[in-house]
Structure 1
Amino acid sequence: MKIRHLVIVAVLAKLCSPGYTCQDNKNGWASCGDVKFMPEIINTVYVSRKARDFIRIPNDAVNMWSHYFSKLDIEDEHPFKAYYTILDRWEYRKKWTFSIVVSTPEYYEFSLLYHTEFTKVLGLMNANHAYQATLRNKFGSIALKAIPLV
């Protein structure tokens, strides 16, 4: 019974894993590879240089990025959009600034699907001690930041 349970857990872990594997980011930005996002869209993720005294990024980052990403004004013809916010919650014991910069409004069509991608990117950022990441595909790029404030 235990072996069967372990096999099921291993299979589920493989199926649910984000599929990204990052290179060493000790000396600078590193690629985390390509993953199929939709039938004809491949996403590539990069994480920034590894931070020395890294503080784990709270999961609220995903909600902030998703919230502002879904608010993109598709009617605005300017190719770059940027949103910044500061989150101050007592449970974090630090203020956090979150930002998202999008290079093209075409992303708007898939805004609900990006919540999952942002979750994967946050996992990569925490695992690689990076406060910045970019997500790129044939439409353009999304730059994500989560920085603790002193």
Structure 2
Amino acid sequence: MKIRHLVIVAVLAKLCSPGYTCQDNKNGWASCGDVKFMPEIINTVYVSRKARDFIRIPNDAVNMWSHYFSKLDIEDEHPFKAYYTILDRWEYRKKWSFSIVVSTPEYYEFSLLYHTEFTKVLGLMNANHAYQATLRNKFGSIALKAIPLV
């Protein structure tokens, strides 16, 4: 059963994140490479160290990250924003803390397109048993985190 689960996760990671191939993250953060996001914009993704007793991150993470990313205030001059939320749903059997940290205001004009990127990053995080990831490009970076709470 466990091997079947690993095969399914590996296949889903390839389908959900075409173009990204992560290096080994068992000893620390690892690069998943560069992928063209839009003309003249290349995204680079990094995933955190592999967690020992990994619990699969629910798909709601993408909705939370997208929701808070879209709430960023375009008029605010401060280039650094952070949002977090705790999700407690009976079907997960655990509470989850989701956070997003954005270090540049220039992402806003592409905010709707990032939902797809967040989906790809979630696939990479689940495939590589990582609870944190960063997405970087010429405008700055986005740090994504999903942590299961006791």
The question of a shared fold, defined as TM-score above 0.5 by the shorter chain, is answered with yes
Percent identical among aligned pairs is 99
Q: 1:105 to 1:13 in 2, by over 3 A?
A: closer
The CA RMSD over aligned residues, in Å, is 5.4
How many angstroms does 1:40 deviate by?
0.7
Instruction: Write out per-residue CA displacement over residues 84-140 of structure 1, whole angstroms, 9 at most, x where no aligned residue.
Output: 000000000000000000000110110000000000000000000000000000000
How many angstroms does 1:8 deviate by?
19
Q: 1:13 to 1:49 in 2, by over 3 A?
A: closer
* Cα separation, 1, equivalents of 2:147 and 2:5: 39
How many angstroms does 1:7 deviate by?
20
Which segments of structure 1 move beyond 6 Å, counting only runs of 4 or more? Answer: 1-16
Instruction: Write out per-residue CA displacement over residues 11-63 of structure 1, whole angstroms, 9 at most, x where no aligned residue.
Output: 99988752100000000000000000001100000000000000000000000
The residue that corresponds to 2:14 in the other structure is 14
Q: Which has the larger radius of gyration?
A: 1
Q: 1:48 to 1:108 in 2, by over 3 A?
A: same
How many angstroms does 1:80 deviate by?
0.3
Q: Structure 2, unaligned stretches of length 5 or more?
A: none
Structure 2 counterpart SS, 1:91: helix
Q: 1:91 to 1:12 in 2, by over 3 A?
A: closer
Count matched residues: 150
Structure 2 counterpart SS, 1:35: strand
How many angstroms does 1:4 deviate by?
25
Structure 2 counterpart SS, 1:113: helix
The residue that corresponds to 1:62 in the other structure is 62
Contact 2:9–2:126 (8 Å) recurs in 1? no
* Cα separation, 1, equivalents of 2:3 and 2:90: 43
How many angstroms does 1:3 deviate by?
26
Q: 1:25 to 1:78 in 2, by over 3 A?
A: same
Alignment of 1:86-101 (within 5 A): 86-101=86-101
TM-score, normalised on structure 1?
Answer: 0.90
TM-score, normalised on structure 2?
Answer: 0.90
